[in-house]
Amino acid sequence: MNVPLLDLKPQLATLRPQILEAVTRVIDSTGYILGPEVTTLEQNIARYCGADHGVGLSSGTDALLVALMSLDIGPDDLVLTTPYTFFATMGTILRVGAQPLFVDIEPESFNIDPEQMAEALAADRRNGSRVKAIIPVHLYGQCADMQRIMALATEYGVPVIEDAAQAIGAECPYEENGAVTWHRAGSMGLCGCFSFFPSKNLGGIGDGGMLTASDRQFAEIVRSNRNHGAEPKYYHSRVGGNFRLDPIQAAVLTVKLAHLDSWHAARRRNADRYRQLFGEAGLAGNEVTLPQAVHAGVQGAERHNHHIYNQFVILVPERDRLRQYLQEHSVGCEIYYPLCLHQQECLRSERYKRQSFPVAQQAAARSLALPIFPELTDEQLVYVVETIRKFYRAG
């Protein structure tokens, strides 16, 4: 049996007529830069995320970049973030001339540890307050502890840029006086940055991104910066770039957005089935550490997207051998991510080489992502777990 890590063909087969109609509409309009398709998507995404404004951008990477640019972050500034995420989180910090300040992650969620963040912010204040932004990453489709992070951001007066590239629609609980309110990724910090890379839960047919914000002035700066800082046309009060979202991508994403919550639900069902199968196989908690949905036990979680499973990441011993075995048996899998950011070659500073983040480094050494896309069949899920069982039981 063949079980790919991701198969977009079933989704395309279902939506093909609507997607072709949307693409044809853009082509026939001859309006190929921004325009009504982008505006419609911006409004829909902002509403979906619980923010007031959406700004369509060329990629999730560029959403992060333009957010940093719009805060005038540059040389001598620090940006506090996680060492365990996709390179773009750090790459955009370096591109504006700033430096990342890393703190380790929580073992349960793979997200940044707020208590270590608190220590880093306190130390930074003692050393002159160089931290000018915080970028928590909602990794694999699960929100970081934003209630605690936003409290720290308020205490230290530092803006928060949510890296929600993998987490559109994911929700985070805020608990106060026994009451729980749920907030969607991209609505809690100053802004949220999203990716529409084809592999995402809401993926386009190419690159695309979005920034959400409820601060109107900040959103207007981002809109200016995505178009070379022009405001009005040919008058440049700032240096921006070409970060515009393609209207063809916007049209396709508008079609797909109506189905997003049903796809989230299917991914959660697949995750629940994996847990059942790994338990029945005697692997859960032994050879295989399953991902934890840390907000699942919060009041009302069953009615909310507490985890959207952009990835289903397990921790296993002999990870590299298991990966090879799965590939040999036609099971798609991937390592997200084999190196922590502070270990990347482009960071040649001795300061970074000496740093150690043991939880993140253990995750990088043992993590493996399994297929989780909505259209997986039960037979495929059973085959994945049975193949892993055979690997470990064979010794």
CATH class of 9-257: alpha beta
List pLDDT tens digits, range 101-119: 999 999 999 999 999 999 9
Section 320-347 average pLDDT: 96
Q: Where are the domains of the chain?
A: 9-257, 260-393
- Give residues with Cβ within 8 angstroms of 247, minimum separation 6: 26, 31, 32, 33, 34, 35, 36, 37, 38
Instruction: Kindly tell me if the per-residue pLDDT of 350 is higher than 90.
Output: no
pLDDT at position 286 is 86
Instruction: Classify residue 42 as left (phi > 0), alpha (psi -120 to 50) or beta.
Output: alpha
Please, what is the average pLDDT of the chain?
A: 96
Cβ atoms of residues 326 and 387 within 8 Å: yes
Distance in angstroms (rounded) separating the CA atoms of residues 206 and 196 = 8
In this prediction, residues 72-99 reach a mean pLDDT of: 97
The pLDDT value given to residue 135:
98
**Residue 40 scores a pLDDT above 70:** yes
Interval 144-166: pLDDT, tens: 999 999 999 999 999 999 999 99
pLDDT above 90 as % of the chain = 93
**Each residue's pLDDT tens digit, 175-226:** 988 899 999 999 999 999 999 999 999 999 999 999 999 999 999 999 999 9
Confidence band (pLDDT; 50, 70, 90) for 73?
very high
* CB-CB contact of 94 with 73 (8 Å): no
Give the separation between CA 17 and CA 252, rounded to whole angstroms: 11
Kindly report whether the peptide bond that precedes residue 337 is cis, defined as omega within 30 degrees of 0: yes
State mean pLDDT over 130-140: 98
Average pLDDT over residues 10-33: 97
Whether 315 contacts 291, CB under 8 Å: no
- Give the alpha-carbon dihedral of 312, 182, 188, 336, to 10 degrees: 0
Gyration radius of the chain over CA positions: 21
Q: Is 125 exposed, middle or buried (0-12, 13-18, 19+ CB in 10 A)?
A: middle
Say whether 260-393 and 9-257 share the same fold. Answer: no
Residue 253 pLDDT > 90: yes
**Domain 260-393: CATH architecture, name and number where available:** Alpha-Beta Complex (3.90)
Please tell me the predicted confidence (pLDDT) of residue 129: 96
The confidence score (pLDDT) of residue 373 equals 98
Q: What pLDDT is stored for residue 395 in this prediction?
A: 59
Over residues 66-81, the mean pLDDT reads 98
16: CB partners within 8 A, 6+ apart: none
pLDDT, tens digit (0-9, with 9 covering 90-100), for 262-301: 999 999 999 999 999 999 999 998 899 999 999 998 988 9
Q: Summarize the confidence of residues 345-349 as an average pLDDT.
A: 85
Assign residue 177 a region (left: φ > 0; alpha: ψ between -120 and 50; beta: otherwise).
Answer: left
